Amino acid sequence: MDFETTLKMRIYGLTVENAQVPSLDRLSSDLGRSRQEIEAECASLGAKRLLVLDNVSGEIRMAPPFSGVSTPHKVTVGDKTYSANCIWDAFGVAAALGADAEITTGCADCGEAMSFQVRNGSPVPAPCAIHYAVPAAHWWDDIVFT
């Protein structure tokens, strides 16, 4: 397995295990590589749009569908609760884990709580409207706001 694949697998493995995206120092320690090597490989994954790095710290801001920071989009699977980057990614966490899930978020207009369930590979029908304000060609102009 090449190093890029090893790194991706470790990022996601640690994220799933700990319900938290790992720090670059943790990856460096786990993989026996220097911090600089990890930073360079993460930057390469960022260029491929497989990760989003924090502009200031360089840490992993998004390992889609997981968020490196706490968000209002929570996904509970078993005894673990993950933060997702957006409502798309909240369902993406359930899809990636292939598990029943409880999803909670808030209405972007009024803030009222919204909840969804995924059962046996499908979402349980629930009222909602998911609005795409930004055209696909511009999603990566500011991936935090799409």
Partner 1 sequence: MLGFRSEAHVDAWCEKRELPRRPIVNLEQQWHLAKTWYENRLTVELRRPGPEEMVEIFSSIGLEGPFWNPQSDEF
Calculate the alpha carbon distances from 54 to 28, 60, 63, 83, 116 in Å.
17, 6, 11, 16, 29
Q: Which of 19, 30, 37, 97 touches partner 1 by CB under 8 A?
A: 97
Looking at residues 16 to 55 of the shown chain, list those that interact with partner 1 (rule: CB under 8 A).
16, 48-50
Q: Which of 8, 34, 38, 44 touches partner 1 by CB under 8 A?
A: 8
d(CA 91, CA 85): 10
Look at residue 46 and give its three-state secondary structure: helix
**Which residue's CB is nearer to partner 1, number 54 or number 139?**
139
d(CA 97, CA 118): 11
Q: Which of 70, 79, 129, 142 touches partner 1 by CB under 8 A?
A: 129
Q: Which of 47, 112, 120, 142 touches partner 1 by CB under 8 A?
A: 112
Question: Which of 145, 6, 21 minimizes the C-alpha distance to 93?
Answer: 21
Question: Site map for partner 1, 57-96, x if CB under 8 A?
Answer: -------xx--------------------xxxx-xxxxxx
Question: Which of 106, 109, 122 minimizes the C-alpha distance to 73?
Answer: 106
Interface residues with partner 1 (CB under 8 A)? 1, 5, 8-9, 12-13, 16, 48-50, 64-65, 86-89, 91-98, 105-110, 112, 114, 116, 118, 122-123, 125-139, 146
